[in-house]
Amino acid sequence: MNLISYFCKTTLILFLLPLSIVAQINYKQAEAYFKQEKFNQAKPIFENFLKQHPNDKKTREYLGDIAAYSKEWDTAISYYKVLVNAEVTNANYHFKYGGAMGMKAMSLSKIRAVTYIGAIKNEFEAAAKLDPKHIETRWALVEFYIQLPGIFGGSENKAISYANELGKISEVDGYLANGYIAEYTDRPIDAERYYKKAIEVGGSAHTYEKLSSLYEKNNQPQQALETTSKALKIHKRNQLNYQIGKISAQYNLDSAYGIACLSQYLANYSIKDGVPKDWAYYRLAQIYKNLGKKEIALTWINKALVDRADFKEALQEKSLIMAL
């Protein structure tokens, strides 16, 4: 190699090296954006990277996940389909592909949705066979078989079978899945038993939420209030303060407790709690209406409407308060 060609090659390497480093930094930043759910910032970086590296599976998966988050089901399906074809033994790819098709089917008319049933079933069952411990796939299959009408292949027995498989992987998920099946098939006593087992084994806030929700659906508000109160004592989650206030307001139960919990919710509120402040104002107005305290109720309902003038439920509640 002569001196000139050596010099040119060295110069090219030195020129390209910083570009490579910059690309790596940008990619790590995109991954950080993705973890923070800042998908609009992550998406263009991943798209640009995929253009330069069309066989990069992780980037394609990121873009599929972003599309799914945005409910762009056709786009998500196109990304996941390529991944499934490229790596047929990857259970997670099959699960995501089946899930995107399932969500797409739900957005269609019943007649058009039927055409997706076979493909969805195949993808979920492939994922389950490929990974005997894939919890999300088995949950998807429980929901698939219990919600699908029998004429199209729905089966309570198959749903129970996958719920029992879940129980072998995660005892609490097994109880929750069987509780879900019992609730869906209108067997509230069985559902209650399974959810109580889930609380006994796992005791997460979610297990308490499922039992409390069951009680509400079956017109047992006192049990719902007691269950949510137990969850609050254990988990100290601020959102549970709102749930107690909501039950108190809706069913005219233990008003003082409801007011105290809603006040606590507002005092400790953060956007992560999920329920906006205007709903807490609305529930306080309901409680004071239940107590016959018109002026205080009006103060809280007006506060809810200041935050959101087109708050339909609050407007309806205000007319009820005015009629006191």
Q: What is the 3-state secondary structure (H, E, C) of 188-204?
A: HHHHHHHHHHHHHHCCC
CA–CA distance, 282 with 299 (Å, rounded to integer)? 10
Q: What is the pLDDT of residues 106-125, one digit of tens each?
A: 898 988 989 999 999 999 99
Task: Say if residue 138's pLDDT is above 80.
Answer: yes
Q: Which value, to the nearest 10 degrees, does the dihedral of the CA atoms of residues 64, 34, 57, 120 take? A: -30
Which residues of the chain does CATH 1.25.40.10 include?
22-131, 132-236, 237-324
Q: Among the listed ranges 24-33, 209-218, 244-253, 314-323, which one has the minimum average pLDDT value?
A: 24-33
Task: Say if residue 4's pLDDT is above 70.
Answer: no
Q: What is the pLDDT of residues 120-135, one digit of tens each?
A: 999 999 999 999 999 9
Q: CA-CA distances (angstroms) from residue 274 to 34, 172, 247, 269, 278?
A: 20, 25, 17, 9, 12
Residues 175/201, Cβ–Cβ less than 8 Å: yes
Q: Which of 160, 88, 151 is nearest to 117 (CA)?
A: 151
Q: What is the pLDDT of residues 276-309, one digit of tens each?
A: 999 999 999 999 999 999 999 999 999 999 989 9
Token pair for residue 246?
Answer: 């909501």
Grade residue 154 by pLDDT with cuts at 50, 70 and 90. Answer: confident
Q: What is the DSSP string of 206-262?
A: HHHHHHHHHHHHTT-HHHHHHHHHHHHHHH--HHHHHHHHHHHHHHT--HHHHHHHH
What pLDDT score was predicted for residue 20? 54
Task: Say if residue 226's pLDDT is above 80.
Answer: yes
Quick one: CATH architecture of 237-324?
A: Alpha Horseshoe (1.25)
Share of the chain above pLDDT 90, in %: 83
Q: Which of 180, 203, 201 is nearest to 192 (CA)?
A: 180
Q: Among the listed ranges 37-51, 156-170, 230-244, 288-302, which one has the minimum average pLDDT value?
A: 37-51
Look over the chain and give the mean of its residue pLDDT values, rounded to a whole number.
Answer: 92
What pLDDT score was predicted for residue 9? 52
Residue 71, amino acid: K
Quick one: CATH architecture of 22-131?
A: Alpha Horseshoe (1.25)
Q: What is the pLDDT of residues 201-220, one digit of tens each?
A: 999 999 999 999 999 999 99
Token pair for residue 137?
Answer: 């796939």
Q: For the chain, what is the total number of helices (H) and then of strands (E)? A: 18, 0
Is residue 268 helix, strand or coil? coil
pTM over 0.75? The answer is yes
Q: CA-CA distances (angstroms) from residue 37 to 100, 124, 313?
A: 19, 26, 30
Q: Does the domain formed by 132-236 have CATH 1.25.40.10?
A: yes
Is residue 273 helix, strand or coil? helix
Grade residue 231 by pLDDT with cuts at 50, 70 and 90. Answer: very high
